[in-house]
Structure 1
Amino acid sequence: MAFEFLSANLAQQKQRARYRVRQNVAEQSGRYVTIDDKRYLNFSSNDYLGLNHHAEINQALTEGAERFGACASGSSLITGYSYAHQALENDICDWLNQPKCLLFASGFSANNALMHALGHESCQLYLDKLSHASLIDGALTSDAKVKRFLHNDTAQLQRFLTQQQALATEYDTNINSVIVSEGVFSMDGDQADVANLAKIAQQHQALLYLDDAHSIGVIGDKGQGSSSIAKVDIVMGTFGKSIATSGAFVACDELLADYLVNFSRHYIYSTAISPALAWATKKSIAIIQHEHWRREKIAELSQLLASKLSDKIQLITNSSSIHAIVIGDEIATLEVCKKLREKGIWLTAIRPPTVPNKSSRLRVTVTASHEDKDINYLADCINEVIT
């Protein structure tokens, strides 16, 4: 029978407790989600700042659709680049103190585009071991040499770069080095040592590329993400998390932006993002910069969660919105999720290959929409079903 591997691989996924299905979501906010006619406290949302359904952003979306249309109707290099896109790019440049900005349909597309653009045969890409799949896929399918350093191990990264520099000197060759990491890592919620990475990059005349999807909006006094910590050469950020719209951006210098416009297939051959969404995103970023209380609330609720959980719970502590509770076994993790859902709590079981073997976990996201009583209830329930 043709394509037997399809059913065989799916059967294997089920046997290993790694089978995945989509959920039919009726409505959701940063605080609640309704699935199969049941309402849950939602601790799986990436709407970190609670801006989804914000009246001013929705109004901007309507205004954008009326003024520019719901669809760009072309790629950015044909007829798809409108004033809405230009205005949004300018705001992002001002926000992150970067010379240029380009918009992409998704973070996955943007990361792939950059890895391919920087993946010249003369380049060496150094990726953090826990870099997002889009970064790994893009790097490995590029023409560059790829080396991965242990998670947040800047000492090992330093050794790799020093060794490469010595080889380049010995053979009188030029190597273009790019350090690739994430501002906040999506599964553990821990931060990269951005200041040290920037220092290492400068020392070795390397470029520093950061996927700031989970940093933007949450980190920094105005939500600038990693750019509030150090000078980052290239920043990728998504709109579908804290910013609560859709799409992504890459902020960089003028030379790289010009190169992407001319050589990035992801950028050249994709229809530009909706100008209405671009207009709504512009409004969202303005709100993010001024409403500091949203970031402050996340920090307060995160501290409350850590203080309420039992010492027997393996919590990866951090200062972001993401809090990982490691359980280990896939089946045990799924069972914990089931028990929590029976108590009205929606949490997602994160299993391999997204995380390493024997490190399946609950990925808890705390948002500005949650209240103290939500966190207290969550902690009580987790303590009951795990300990």
Structure 2
Amino acid sequence: MSKAWRERLAEARTHRQQTQRWRTRQVAKSNTLDFAGNDYLGLAQDPRVSEAQAAGARLYGAGAGASHLVSGHLEVHEALEEALAEWTGRERALLFSTGYMANLGVLQALADRDTAIFQDRLNHASLIDGAALSGARSRRFHHRDTHDLDSLLARSECAHKLVVSDGVFSMDGDVADIASLAQVSQQRNAWLMIDDAHGMGVLGNNGSGCAGSDWEDTEVPILVGTLGKALGTAGAFVAGDAALIEHLIQFSRSYIYTTAQPPAIAAATLKALAIVQGEPEHRDHLNANIAYFRQAARHLGLPLSASETPIQPLVLGDEARTLRWAAQLQTLGIHVGAIRPPTVPNGEARLRITLSARHTRDHIDRLLEALAKCQREGAVCLTHA
């Protein structure tokens, strides 16, 4: 490596470490309580889903072997796309290998320099990157502020306008106002795209998310969902009418130029989807866990957000404090995500606590006791400062 490149990497590392933003991977241990993942319904650990994946691998092989448009689109992929379309109340669905690729693929295929994209300020990075990749004119409206969005749309002279929002915001846990977004978009002749990665399986009618079967595709023309969160497997999909899906098949580069999802994953997802639709008790247990945690956390005086979803952020503000709390929790056998800028805005570092249907009351009590311990020790440190 040349000296210039070594210096560039060293400078970037030093800056990120000095600002308390250097990330490290942790090897997940079986004896650690996980309050950081997105397996909201516990289906990643459901033996029925695991067995469906193993059976799929025995039947179809370990991988698809090619892209969907070559020879990698197998009958199990077709069955999953049909099931996802029916679940979300859409005409068609299209599988992608990851949620990031789905968002990039949709925005790159639909938008160009003659398109105006309007994004919620707290949208996921993949949506921001997809808009940049498309070359479209991009504006960001204030978080969940449809008045600001309407003002921006009113000033746009573009014939093709696209409004883009997360469904459930991954760092705050709050939910987009789908009704207002749909109304404003229709009034301003814009299409609405909702990335409901964290709502699928958890919210809405039959678990179909905050913008699924409760909404017509005329109201939410572009619906993106991921399979690696509440459904417990991997990959993503886009749902909409036939014209949208056919356009993506022809023009979405992240769909065309990549190997299809492993068929065993598709088989496992079909089983997970059947469980989500047929066993609402998993969502009921998850919602009970959320209510229990929030009531107890409020009693402790913890800085809760307004989230009613499995994502329960504790905004601590200071990045060093956030890292200390996360490290203290780790020593107590509890893993919680320590989220710092640039993932969240400056001054809003937080512990991102996520709840699952697999958590018991004892698990949540352990978490609450550990958080109370961090709170007490933090107060002692402030007293002695």
TM-score range, shorter chain: over 0.9
Is this contact kept in 1: 2:192–2:222, CA < 8 A?
yes
Instruction: Give distance in 1, aligned partners of 2:32 and 2:223.
Output: 35
Deviation at 1:2, TM superposition (A): 2.4
Counterpart secondary structure, 1:302:
helix
Counterpart secondary structure, 2:206:
coil
89, 93, 101: which one aligns with 2:85: 93
Amino acid at match of 2:184: I
Match status 1:108 vs 2:117: no
Instruction: Give distance in 2, aligned partners of 1:153 and 1:264.
Output: 30
Alignment of structure 1 residues 308-319 onto 2, 5 Å: 308-309=296-297, 310=299, 312-319=301-308
Instruction: Give distance in 2, aligned partners of 1:107 and 1:131.
Output: 13
159, 162, 185: which one aligns with 1:178: 162
Give the TM-score normalised by structure 2: 0.93
Instruction: Give distance in 2, aligned partners of 1:156 and 1:317.
Output: 21
Amino acid at match of 1:230: W
Instruction: Give distance in 2, aligned partners of 1:339 and 1:277.
Output: 36
Give the TM-score normalised by structure 1: 0.92
Equivalent residue number for residue 63 of structure 1 = 55
Equivalent residue number for residue 246 of structure 2 = 258
Equivalent residue number for residue 361 of structure 1 = 350
My pick for the range that moved more, 274-283 or 358-367, is: 274-283
Sequence identity percentage: 40
Equivalent residue number for residue 230 of structure 1 = 215
285, 299, 304: which one aligns with 1:297: 285
Equivalent residue number for residue 16 of structure 2 = 13
Counterpart secondary structure, 1:225:
coil
Count, aligned residues: 368
Instruction: Give distance in 2, aligned partners of 1:180 and 1:15.
Output: 34
Equivalent residue number for residue 322 of structure 1 = 311
Encode CA deviations 1:72-115: one digit per residue, 9 max, x unaligned.
11111110111010000000010001111111110001100111
Is this contact kept in 2: 1:347–1:364, CA < 8 A?
yes
Is this contact kept in 1: 2:205–2:214, CA < 8 A?
no
Counterpart secondary structure, 1:126:
strand
Query: What CA RMSD, in Å, does the superposition of the two structures yield over aligned residues?
Result: 1.3
Counterpart secondary structure, 1:216:
coil
Instruction: Give distance in 2, aligned partners of 1:296 and 1:124.
Output: 40
Instruction: Give distance in 2, aligned partners of 1:17 and 1:128.
Output: 27
344, 348, 353: which one aligns with 2:333: 344
Amino acid at match of 2:225: G
Instruction: Return the structure number with greater helix share.
Output: 2
Instruction: Give distance in 2, aligned partners of 1:5 and 1:379.
Output: 43
Counterpart secondary structure, 2:229:
coil
Instruction: Give distance in 1, aligned partners of 2:271 and 2:32.
Output: 29
Equivalent residue number for residue 4 of structure 2 = 2
Instruction: Give distance in 1, aligned partners of 2:291 and 2:45.
Output: 26
Amino acid at match of 2:270: K
Is this contact kept in 1: 2:87–2:213, CA < 8 A?
no
My pick for the range that moved more, 377-386 or 119-128, is: 377-386
Deviation at 1:311, TM superposition (A): 5.7
Amino acid at match of 2:159: I
Instruction: Give distance in 2, aligned partners of 1:19 and 1:314.
Output: 25
C-alpha spacing 1:230/1:221, structure 2 compared with 1 (3 Å): closer
Deviation at 1:315, TM superposition (A): 0.8
Amino acid at match of 2:358: S
Equivalent residue number for residue 383 of structure 2 = none
My pick for the range that moved more, 114-123 or 181-190, is: 114-123
Encode CA deviations 1:253-282: one digit per residue, 9 max, x unaligned.
111211111111111110110111111111
Instruction: Give distance in 1, aligned partners of 2:89 and 2:205.
Output: 14
Encode CA deviations 1:9-34: one digit per residue, 9 max, x unaligned.
11111111111111122xxxxxxx43
Instruction: Give distance in 1, aligned partners of 2:222 and 2:21.
Output: 35
Match status 1:332 vs 2:321: yes
Instruction: Give distance in 2, aligned partners of 1:314 and 1:69.
Output: 49
Instruction: Give distance in 2, aligned partners of 1:229 and 1:158.
Output: 23
Encode CA deviations 1:198-253: one digit per residue, 9 max, x unaligned.
12222222111111110000002311002144332111111111111111111111
Alignment of structure 1 residues 104-253 onto 2, 5 Å: 104-164=96-156, 168=157, 175-226=159-210, 227-231=212-216, 232-253=220-241
Structure 2 unaligned spans of 5+: 377-385
Equivalent residue number for residue 274 of structure 2 = 286
Equivalent residue number for residue 267 of structure 1 = 255
Instruction: Give distance in 2, aligned partners of 1:260 and 1:87.
Output: 19
Instruction: Give distance in 2, aligned partners of 1:205 and 1:83.
Output: 38
Instruction: Give distance in 2, aligned partners of 1:312 and 1:281.
Output: 40
Instruction: Give distance in 1, aligned partners of 2:233 and 2:321.
Output: 35
Deviation at 1:348, TM superposition (A): 1.4
Is this contact kept in 2: 1:61–1:279, CA < 8 A?
yes
